[in-house]
């Protein structure tokens, strides 16, 4: 890619921690478009679009979009098949009741 | 050093009010700001904070700044390079005064970090102010008494642009197993071998680790610099997931 106006997924951690209790930059995401697995920290983040747009470093498709208004946030993850989030060992493992 | 916080389920982040307690000049355009942040939870080398300014009319601007060293109780250090036409960095360098409040959120970023338990050799490649989180790793290594071999390749425009110049000179001498190599892009000091140039394959080859050693590589600086160096490293056979990057923004 020749456009150098992006940052990387590391910078998403602050904005995403407004929504989530865990660090998502070390979570692994799978691109819905090309199937590449990689850390959220590795996304190419464009911050001059309305909100923050995270693109797959392999195929450049949008995997994540976060738009923040004073009283709400929109998180669009439709370009992501899943996010695998490392959890601390001392969390009780969820099991069926 | 306080316990790492990023692996914990810590709850949503909140903005805290920080105050300037000390300012150090690093270069004509970069300064280290020591902030007091009551209740600072500790952090790991490589993490950053988001800094938020609020104008009297309520307008807000937030930017990310790397933590420059291990935590010291409630004190954290940031090193800010002035981007002349910027919104936030000129304020922090020229206007922000002792005792003034600023809002800080963090620590954030759990990927671009070096933990003192790591045993793999480390290659650090910095462009300009990209040295800040890498210096935090060098300082954390020293504090922990780690023997892990570190190499730093530091690209700057001229000798006067070297941030932490004295400390790097001292540590390269005293911290066993730390090598520092410089690349000058515009003007080299007397006696430096070669002509000023941008970091290239030869620099990474000469001053880095062979890919067979499976080092951890951390590359930080302007976006174009990071792109170039990360591509060189991957081209030299380093695994993508062992090449961690942090892009600071547009230009060089
Ligand atoms: C995770 C992370 C960590 C960072 N850590 C540090 C740090 O430790 N020290 C530090 O000094 N900066 C750091 N930065 C960069 C910092 O967040 C700001 O981008 C920088 O201070 C410029 O902000 P500004 O408001 O002064 O300029 P802006 O108002 O944002 O930009 C003004 C002009 O400068 C350009 N510009 C923006 N950012 C940069 C840049 N970094 N270099 C060159 N031109 C730029 C813009 O395109 C624009 O033309 C980090 C960035 C990230 C994402
Ligand atoms: Zn993809």
d(CA B50, CA A53): 18
Angle at B43 between CA B41 and CA B44, to 5 degrees: 160
What is the model's pLDDT at position B1? 43
Closest Cα to atom 17 of ligand 1? B64
pLDDT tens digits along B194-204: 899 999 999 99
Q: Which of B6, B47, B140, B231 is nearest to A11 (CA)?
A: B47
How many CB pairs (< 8 A) connect A and B?
A: 80
Interface contact flag, A39 B111, Cβ < 8 Å: yes
A8 close contact with B: CB closer than 8 A: yes
Q: Which of B86, B134, B156, B252 to mutate to test the pocket of ligand 1 (most atoms within 8 A of CB)?
A: B86
What is the model's pLDDT at position B3? 45
What is the model's pLDDT at position A45? 96
What is the model's pLDDT at position A96? 63
Phi, psi for residue A30 in degrees, rounded to 5: -110, 125
In a structure prediction context, what are the per-residue pLDDT tens digits for chain A, which is 97 residues long? 446 689 999 999 999 998 988 889 889 999 999 999 999 999 999 987 789 999 999 999 999 999 998 899 999 999 999 999 988 776 566 666 5
What is the model's pLDDT at position B70? 93
- Give A97→chain B minimum CA distance, Å: 23
What is the model's pLDDT at position B164? 98
Cα dihedral sign, B3-B111-B7-B118:
negative
What is the model's pLDDT at position A94? 65
Burial of A32 (C-beta count, 10 Å sphere; 0-12/13-18/19+): middle
Q: Which of B148, B123, B89 is nearest to B220 (CA)?
A: B123
Cα(B221) to ligand 1 centroid in Å equals 10
Q: B27 with B163: CB under 8 angstroms?
A: yes
- Angle between the N-to-C axes of helices B131-144 and B165-174, in degrees from 0 to 180, rounded to the nearest 10: 40
Closest Cα to atom 24 of ligand 1? B86
Q: Which atom of ligand 1 is nearest to the CA of B61?
A: 25
Q: Which CATH fold would you assign to the domain B15-108?
A: Elongation Factor Tu (Ef-tu); domain 3 (2.40.30)
What is the model's pLDDT at position B250? 85
Interface contact flag, B9 A13, Cβ < 8 Å: no
d(CA B127, CA B251): 11
Q: B209 with B121: CB under 8 angstroms?
A: yes
Mutate to test the interface with B, among A3, A5, A10 (most CBs of B within 10 A): A10
Q: Which atom of ligand 1 is nearest to the CA of B30?
A: 11
What is the model's pLDDT at position A5? 86
Smallest CA–CA distance from B223 into chain A, residue: A4
Domain ranges of chain A: 7-84
Q: Which residues contact A72 (CB under 8 A, 6 or more apart)?
A: none
Closest Cα to atom 31 of ligand 1? B86
Angle at B15 between CA B11 and CA B17, to 5 degrees: 135
ipTM of this complex prediction, to 2 decimal places: 0.82
Per CB-CB distance under 8 Å, the chain B contacts of A52 are none
Q: Which of B239, B160, B231, B246 is nearest to B199 (CA)?
A: B231
d(CA B121, CA B214): 8
Q: Up-side HSE of residue A60: CA atoms within 13 Å toward CB? A: 5
Q: Which CATH fold would you assign to the domain B122-248?
A: Rossmann fold (3.40.50)
What is the model's pLDDT at position B194? 84
Low-confidence ranges of chain B (pLDDT < 70): 1-11, 252
Domain ranges of chain B: 15-108, 122-248
Interface contact flag, B223 A9, Cβ < 8 Å: no
């Amino acid at each position: 890619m020749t456009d150098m106006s992006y940052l990387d997924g590391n910078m998403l951690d602050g904005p995403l921690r407004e929504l989530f209790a865990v660090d998502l930059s070390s979570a692994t995401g799978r691109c819905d478009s090309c199937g590449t697995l990689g850390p959220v920290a590795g996304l190419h983040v464009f911050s001059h679009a309305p909100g923050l747009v995270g693109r797959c470093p392999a195929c450049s498709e949008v995997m994540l979009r976060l738009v923040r208004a004073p009283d709400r946030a929109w998180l669009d993850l439709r370009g992501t098949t899943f996010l695998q989030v490392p959890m601390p060992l001392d969390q009780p493992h969820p099991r069926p009741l | 050093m306080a316990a790492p916080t990023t692996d914990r389920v810590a709850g949503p982040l909140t903005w805290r009010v920080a105050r300037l307690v000390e300012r150090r000049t690093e270069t004509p355009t970069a300064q280290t700001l020591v902030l007091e942040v009551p209740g600072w939870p500790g952090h790991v080398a490589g993490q950053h904070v988001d800094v938020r300014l609020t104008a009297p009319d309520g307008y807000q601007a937030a930017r990310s700044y790397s933590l420059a060293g291990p935590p010291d109780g409630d004190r954290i250090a940031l090193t800010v390079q002035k981007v002349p036409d910027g919104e936030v960095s000129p304020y922090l360098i020229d206007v922000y005064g002792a005792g003034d409040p600023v809002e800080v959120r963090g620590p954030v970023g759990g990927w671009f970090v070096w933990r003192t338990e790591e045993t793999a050799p480390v290659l650090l490649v910095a462009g300009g102010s990209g040295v800040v989180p890498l210096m935090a790793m060098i300082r954390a290594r020293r504090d922990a008494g780690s023997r892990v071999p570190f190499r730093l390749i530091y690209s700057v425009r001229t000798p006067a642009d070297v941030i932490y110049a004295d400390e790097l000179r001292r540590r390269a001498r005293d911290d066993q197993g730390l090598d520092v190599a410089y690349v000058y892009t515009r003007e080299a000091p007397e006696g430096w071998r070669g002509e000023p140039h941008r970091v290239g394959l030869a620099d990474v080859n000469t001053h880095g680790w062979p890919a067979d050693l499976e080092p951890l590589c951390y590359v930080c600086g302007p976006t174009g610099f990071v792109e170039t160096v990360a591509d060189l490293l991957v081209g030299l056979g380093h695994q993508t997931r062992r090449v961690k990057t942090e892009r600071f923004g547009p230009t060089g």
